[in-house]
Structures are given as C-alpha cells and as structure tokens.
C-alpha cells in the first residue's frame, strides 16, 4: 500500500477528492457540500441516502447564519466541533446548556433529561435560533412540543441524534413540522455529524 505524503493543508482537499471519486451518483450541487462534509467526518457513504433536506433549506439556513442567529447544540462535543473562526466572522454565538447547573437541577427535579430542559432554555432566546441536535432524541421530541406550542420558531433544525431508543421516531416527527430541517434518517448520526453540517453551511459563507 502506497502512503501519500501530504502537508496538513492538503489532507482535507485530498480527502474530498477521494470522496468525489467514490460517489456512485451525482449530488444536488446545493446540497453536495453538506453531504460530502458529513461523509468526510463519518467515513460513511450511507449519508448520501440518509440525509434528508426540507425544500430550500440551504437558502433558509444561510439567511439565518448571515443574520447572526444563535446556534444551540445538545452536546458540548457538537459545540466544540463547530468552527469558532467562521462563527466569529459572522458574529454568531454557539450555545450549549447541557452542563449548566440550573439545567441539571431542573432535570433532576422533574425526572426528565437535561436535553429537554436545554431546549426549553433555547426557546427563551431572542430571535430564531439554529438548533443542532446530534446526541439526544429527547431534545428533538421536546423541541417539537415547544414549536407546536409556538414557544420557539427555529430558523433551522439539524436532527441527527445517534442511537436506538426513540431515535428514528424523533427524526420522523421533526420532518412532519413546517420548519426547515436537515435530518439523518434512521439510527445514524452523532455530535460530530451535527457539527459537520453546521460547518458546511458556515463555510459556504466564509470561505
């Protein structure tokens, strides 16, 4: 096996060349940067079929990011994976409430998940936040209730939690809402995938 000797800045470019060469079907040009970055992050070509996009979602998402809408994640891992440099260029705050003391105490008192309480805190924010969920299906389920109660109107929902319990159903319910979404149908996903989708959108504006 030949080893490619590349300087660091060339590794990502070469990775995307390999992804492009191994794709079996052409991608929608507007969606391609998102799909390819998720494949790059997960090394999983299943996302070509798994990723679902609401109509005109990229336009809605880019408008929200250009307005500087806040991004709320359901894990600190997803928050850490989102490009700080790109967010700084656009004046965007990235928030995660999962480890905050009041969230932990409220969740314990009510016998619910911190992810549910985090979505309630997100609903208190000004504007129309971008919600990026890669960890907790309960975040999506509570978010759906909050939307139905007209307590929050997200600019975009990124619904890509990974796992087995309520994961598939939570994603399907998000896709029934009249809200822009990017969802990874099925069990696959993760905080890294959520961050990859956010970054793909950010890079469309900042690179």
CA distance 24 to 29: 15
Specify whether the CB–CB gap between 69 and 86 falls below 8 A.
no
Annotated catalytic residue 40: yes
Crossing angle for the helix pair 191-206 and 32-42, to the nearest 10 degrees: 140
Distances (CA, A) of 165 to 39, 48, 103, 185: 24, 23, 22, 14
CB atoms within 10 A of CB 204: 16
Classify burial at 30, counting beta carbons within 10 Å of its beta carbon; exposed 0-12, middle 13-18, buried 19 or more.
Answer: middle
Q: Which of 23, 30, 40, 125 is catalytic?
A: 40
Residues assigned a catalytic role: 40
């Amino acid at each position: 096996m030949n080893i490619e000797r590349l300087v660091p800045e060339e590794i990502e470019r070469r990775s995307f060349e390999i992804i492009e060469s191994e794709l079996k079907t052409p991608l929608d040009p507007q969606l391609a940067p998102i799909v390819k970055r998720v494949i790059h992050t997960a090394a999983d070509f299943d996302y070509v079929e798994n990723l679902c996009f609401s109509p005109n979602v990229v336009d809605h998402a880019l408008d929200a990011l250009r307005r500087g809408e806040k991004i709320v994640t359901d894990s600190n891992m997803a928050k850490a994976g989102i490009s700080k440099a790109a967010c700084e260029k656009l004046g965007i705050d990235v928030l995660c409430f999962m480890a905050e003391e009041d969230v932990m105490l409220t969740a314990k008192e009510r016998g619910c998940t911190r992810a549910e309480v985090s979505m309630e805190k997100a609903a208190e924010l000004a504007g129309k936040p971008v919600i990026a969920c890669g960890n907790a299906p309960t975040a999506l389920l509570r978010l759906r209730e909050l939307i139905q109660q007209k307590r929050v109107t997200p600019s975009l929902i990124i619904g890509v939690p990974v796992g087995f319990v309520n994961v598939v159903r939570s994603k399907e319910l998000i896709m029934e809402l009249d809200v822009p979404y990017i969802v990874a149908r099925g069990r696959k996903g993760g905080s890294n995938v959520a961050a990859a989708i956010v970054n793909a959108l950010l890079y469309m504006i900042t690179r």
